[in-house]
């Protein structure tokens, strides 16, 4: 209520000492209009705390048009003295940063639901499980309070959607009332990842990114502060502008085209016209260092991106379907220790060059005369040794299955911690179809992956599985559309790389040995690992981040 705020500020102005700073905690009401109701407008500032204020670390400091630099500095110092993170909003724009950028999260979701009939559950599940938000827009609206959302939309000068108006009129204003978009008689809505499989999060992300780019263009705050405010205040993963760089600014712009509801940000259009597309071009809203390629390999490509902690080892024999030769095994054996020692590497992706094959197995011609049994035994043992080093690699590994993964290719994939597959991928232990048996650990790892009965079927019948069939058996962690595969692998690996390195290493060792040892020995090892990890700094960072409702920044210390 602006009039009430102005009345309070006039009374404070009359009663407070001349040097006193007057501040308002509001998420939408213009600070400038409150300031002009006083005789000291230069001493008025906005301090927008976030609920619950004892846990939420962010405070938006809003500079009204007449606010002086001295008042602004005093507000920043005050917020820092409280132990909070201050983000200065340099211009008193409707919604400031967080409320303005978060607006489309609700409004676009409502529009899509009302005009296109997309289920609320589909939108919420996609934004939660695919985009990484703690809650989807409808569940979050219920949590915030639909009456609160109603006033925010009105104060921003936007039309109130019909479904919001109806819920407010019927007093179904969210969780506090027991019902809103969802009923809470049985607790939180039960959503599953499958519910959001057919809805693309970029449809909601793009308008949010557009608002953030508009704020950048108006000089409200720099990109780093906009993203910081959204991460700390709304749990927006990475922040909208960093997210845009990952998605590709051209993809964001394409998602906005044809929308008569919003004006596309000139900042966004100009960046795309200059070829500043984000991570893939090296520059977007941020500068991005290109992954560094490690020289010295003939059959592999080894690169790392220190900014994300992800390294990639690519089998580089596309003309031979990335089959294994003695040189490939030697170079993998040489690459792994260097990557294990590299503190910049937290996750290793293994893939194949081209889009036809991850690896079609062993190139038997490259191993020379294997007609003698002892030579074939040596080849098998060498491959088992190398793949065992992959399995025991101290950091988590992701097999990016871009095509065929047959024979030894499947065995290498089984040695990795995760398997992410493109739709076109085909997988199988196909050796018995050639009169051979798996010779690089396949008979042992497939049993541990799917159980003895299914393993016998896959091996004896030399079955070739589609990516979806493999996922149904638990052999594949995630299946991606072919066009989205590189971006999905990158996002998955970056998510893995953000984990706590020491805890990951200990948990990996425990899981890898779980099938090999008696239960009592395994439990003893687990207790020892639990004791070890409590001595790390990462455990305190994890707890602190949980309390502050932010993403932890683990250092591996």
Active site residues: 411, 431
| Residue 510: partners with Cβ closer than 8 Å, 6 or more residues away | 522, 525, 526, 529
The Cβ of residue 421 has, within 10 Å, a number of other Cβ atoms equal to 31
Instruction: Give whole-number Cα distances, 148 to 108, 141, 144, 337, in Å.
Output: 17, 9, 7, 56
Q: Are 183 and 120 in contact (CB under 8 A)?
A: no
Task: Indicate the Cα dihedral angle 420, 425, 426, 428, nearest 10°.
Answer: -30
Question: HEC states along 183-232?
Answer: ECCCCCCCCCHHHHCCCCCHHHHHHHHHHHHHHHHCCCCCHHHHHHHHHH
Spatial CA neighbour of 379 closest among 439, 461, 457: 439
Helix count and strand count (H, E) for the chain: 23, 15
> What is d(CA 222, CA 239) in angstroms, rounded to the nearest whole number?
12
Largest CA distance in the chain: 101
Spatial CA neighbour of 41 closest among 81, 6, 82, 76: 6
One-character DSSP codes across 531-549: HHHTTSHHHHHHHHHHHHT
> What is d(CA 478, CA 427) in angstroms, rounded to the nearest whole number?
14
- Going along 112-185, which residue ranges are E strands? none
Give the H/E segment covering residue 338. Answer: helix 326-341
Backbone angles phi, psi at 411, to 5 degrees: -65, -40
Q: CA geometry: angle at 69 spanning 87 and 103, to 5°? A: 35
End-to-end CA distance of the chain: 50
| Residue 511: partners with Cβ closer than 8 Å, 6 or more residues away | none
Do you know the residue count of the chain? 557
Spatial CA neighbour of 101 closest among 241, 224, 196, 201: 241
Spatial CA neighbour of 315 closest among 416, 246, 395: 416
Give the H/E segment covering residue 151. Answer: helix 146-155
Sign of CA pseudo-dihedral 367, 373, 375, 377: positive
One-character DSSP codes across 478-522: EEE-TTTHHHHHHHHHHHHHTS-HHHHHHHHHHHHHTTTS-HHHH
Instruction: Give whole-number Cα distances, 372 to 134, 368, 376, 377, 379, in Å.
Output: 60, 11, 7, 9, 11
Q: CA geometry: angle at 335 spanning 333 and 336, to 5°? A: 70
Tokens of 384: 């088992």
């Amino acid at each position: 209520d602006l009039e009430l705020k102005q009345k309070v500020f006039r009374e404070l102005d009359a009663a407070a000492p001349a040097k006193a700073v007057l501040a308002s905690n509001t998420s939408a009401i213009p600070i400038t209009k409150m300031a002009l109701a006083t005789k000291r407008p230069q001493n008025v500032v906005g301090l927008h705390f976030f609920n619950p204020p004892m846990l939420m670390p962010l405070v938006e400091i809003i500079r009204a048009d007449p606010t002086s630099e001295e008042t602004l500095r005093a507000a920043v110092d005050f917020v820092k003295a409280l132990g909070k993170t201050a983000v200065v909003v340099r211009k008193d724009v409707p919604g400031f940063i967080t409320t303005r950028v978060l607006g489309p999260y609700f409004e676009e979701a409502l529009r899509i639901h009302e005009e296109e009939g997309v289920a609320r559950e589909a939108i919420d599940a996609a934004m939660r499980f695919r985009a990484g938000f703690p809650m989807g827009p409808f569940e979050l609206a219920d949590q915030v309070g639909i009456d609160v959302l109603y006033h925010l939309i009105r104060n921003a000068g936007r039309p109130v959607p019909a479904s919001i108006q109806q819920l407010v009129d019927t007093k179904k204003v969210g969780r506090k009332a027991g019902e809103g978009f969802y009923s809470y008689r049985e607790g939180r809505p039960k959503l599953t990842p499958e519910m959001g499989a057919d809805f693309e999060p970029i449809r909601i992300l793009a308008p949010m990114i557009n608002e953030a780019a508009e704020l950048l263009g108006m000089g409200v705050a720099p990109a780093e502060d906009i993203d910081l405010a959204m991460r700390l205040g709304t749990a927006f993963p990475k922040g909208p502008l960093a997210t845009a760089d990952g998605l590709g600014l051209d993809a964001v712009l394409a998602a906005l085209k044809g929308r008569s509801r919003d004006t596309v940000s000139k900042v966004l259009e100009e960046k795309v016209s200059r070829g500043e597309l984000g991570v893939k071009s090296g520059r977007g809203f941020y500068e991005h260092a290109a992954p560094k390629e490690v020289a010295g390999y003939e059959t592999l490509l080894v690169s790392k991106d220190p900014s994300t902690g992800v390294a990639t080892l690519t089998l580089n024999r596309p003309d031979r379907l990335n089959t294994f030769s003695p040189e490939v095994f030697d170079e993998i054996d040489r690459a792994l220790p260097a990557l294990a020692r590299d503190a910049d590497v937290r996750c290793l992706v293994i893939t194949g060059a081209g889009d036809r094959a991850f690896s079609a197995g062993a190139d038997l011609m490259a191993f020379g005369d294997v007609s003698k049994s002892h030579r074939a035994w040596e080849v098998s043992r060498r491959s088992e040794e190398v793949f065992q080093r992959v399995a025991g690699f101290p950091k988590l590994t992701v097999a990016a299955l871009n095509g065929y993964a047959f024979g030894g290719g499947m065995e290498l994939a089984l040695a990795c911690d995760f398997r992410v597959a493109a739709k076109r991928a085909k997988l199988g232990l196909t050796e018995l179809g050639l009169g051979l048996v798996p010779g690089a650990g396949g008979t042992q790892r497939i049993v541990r992956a799917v159980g003895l009965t299914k393993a016998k079927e896959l091996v004896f019948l030399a079955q070739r599985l589609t990516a979806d069939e493999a996922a149904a058996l638990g052999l594949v962690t995630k299946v991606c559309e072919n066009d989205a595969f590189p971006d999905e692998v990158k996002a998955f690996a970056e998510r893995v790389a953000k984990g706590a390195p020491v805890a990951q290493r200990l948990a990996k060792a425990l899981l890898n040995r779980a099938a090999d040892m008696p239960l009592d020995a395994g439990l003893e090892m687990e207790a020892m690992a639990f004791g070890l990890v409590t001595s790390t700094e990462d455990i305190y960072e994890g707890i602190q981040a949980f309390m502050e409702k932010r993403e932890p920044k683990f250092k591996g210390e």
